[in-house]
Amino acid sequence: MTTESTLALPVGTTLDRFIMRQQESFAYAKGELSQLLRDIALASKIVGREINRAGLTDITGAFGRDNIQGESQQKLDVIANIRFKRALINGGEVCGILSEEEDDIIQTNNYNGKYVVAIDPLDGSSNIDVNVSIGTIFSIYRRVSPIGTPATFEDFMQGGRRQAAAGYILYGSSTVMVYTTGKGVNCFTYENSLGEFFFSNANIQMPVTGKIYSINDAYYDEFAPSIKSFIADMRVSSGAMARYIGSLVGDFHRNLLKGGIYLYPPTQKAKEGKLRLLYECYPLALILEQAGGRAIDGTQNILDIVPTKVHQRCVAYLGSKNLIDDLEQRVLNV
């Protein structure tokens, strides 16, 4: 569903104006969420600039420390984390942040901030040093803790359906920001010389089916028979294409526009899946639902998963409706 004011906005409208106009369609909106989205866009411009000149400065490679997930942090992971935190703290709308890069909830000391943000500041770490697309993924909630107090664990444990907004930034052949506030999915493309995001794809609808499947084939032997049979059938279907960048945002964005499915089943190493629920799967699941696609963990809609941990992992099948319906039948009928 897209509001009339959104529909009336032409391609080429700046992100700031779009956000302002969209705000008018929410009764009683005071502009805090709008400001928060602008803060995220600002940080993404700064991170995008750092990424673009990464090879010229000493910011590629490992930082020399592991994050909470036991994964090696890259220097750009750390820089992106600092940039997003700074923008969100200075912006003042957020009382707490959950970042993939930090163990605990980050208190911003903005006790009057009405929102919390869960974020993967730079996703696709293995692609950072080789000029391949990477991204930022974010999820926004209205806090449930009282205004005037620090953010709480419960603020982040509300579940996917209570997201106030969700989105991602893809630093690819061009930089795009895609987000939803629950009224459709819109995409904005960054114009480098002007330093602005411009409205480029209105009310994105995912094709109901597709030819693309995206999965790390190296784990094939570890997959359950239902997943293997799905992949086997995809391979022999007419026009099928395997496409896997290894950057979730890039794989997701391509499939969103062209139709297809992204799969990260359980593996021996990642028995609960690899992707993170709060700042990878929930936001992409909301975008999919808004765009007519589906996101499941095999047995349920990802948005219905009840969270228990801030860095919880999740099995993820994200894609076009018909492909997910097919996969779901196979998984459920074993």
- The residues binding ligand AHM (CB under 6 A) are 71, 100, 120, 123-126, 216, 246-248, 251, 274
Q: Which stretch binds Mg ion (CB under 5 A): 89-97, 107-115, 116-124, 297-305?
A: 116-124
Q: Which is nearer to ligand AHM, 18 or 282 (CB)?
A: 282
Q: Which is nearer to ligand AHM, 53 or 269 (CB)?
A: 269
Q: In angstroms, give the least distance from the CB of 227 to ligand AHM.
A: 14
Q: Which does residue 71 touch among ligand AHM, Mg ion, none (CB within 5 to 8 A, set by kind)?
A: ligand AHM
- Taking the C-alpha atoms of residue 45 and residue 236, their distance in angstroms, rounded to an integer, is 42
Q: In angstroms, give the least distance from the CB of 223 to ligand AHM.
A: 13
CB-based contact 260:320 (threshold 8 Å): yes
Long-range contacts of 75-80 (CB under 8 A, 24+ apart): 76/50, 76/51, 76/122, 76/128, 77/101, 77/121, 77/122, 77/125, 77/128, 79/47, 79/50, 80/47, 80/50, 80/121, 80/122, 80/136
3-state secondary structure at position 2: coil
Determine, following the binding rule CB under 5 A, whether residue 101 of this chain makes contact with Mg ion: no
Q: In angstroms, give the least distance from the CB of 261 to ligand AHM.
A: 13
Q: Which stretch binds Mg ion (CB under 5 A): 88-96, 119-127, 179-187, 253-261?
A: 119-127
Q: In angstroms, give the least distance from the CB of 264 to ligand AHM.
A: 7
Q: Which is nearer to ligand AHM, 94 or 281 (CB)?
A: 281
In the list 120, 251, 289, 297, the residue contacting Mg ion (rule: CB under 5 A) is 120
Determine, following the binding rule CB under 5 A, whether residue 328 of this chain makes contact with Mg ion: no
- Taking the C-alpha atoms of residue 315 and residue 271, their distance in angstroms, rounded to an integer, is 9
Cα angle 65, 68, 72 (rounded to 5 degrees) comes to: 35
Determine, following the binding rule CB under 5 A, whether residue 123 of this chain makes contact with Mg ion: yes
Q: Which of 323, 293, 301, 320 lies closest to 230, judged by CA?
A: 323
**Quick one: how far is CA 19 from the chain centroid?**
19
**Quick one: how far is CA 79 from the chain centroid?**
18
**Helix or strand run (H / E) with residue 283:** helix 282-291
* End-to-end CA gap in the chain: 36
Determine, following the binding rule CB under 5 A, whether residue 251 of this chain makes contact with Mg ion: no
Q: In angstroms, give the least distance from the CB of 85 to ligand AHM.
A: 17
Determine, following the binding rule CB under 5 A, whether residue 77 of this chain makes contact with Mg ion: no
CB closest to Mg ion, residue no: 123
Q: Which is nearer to Mg ion, 96 or 283 (CB)?
A: 283
Site for Mg ion, rule CB under 5 A: 120, 123
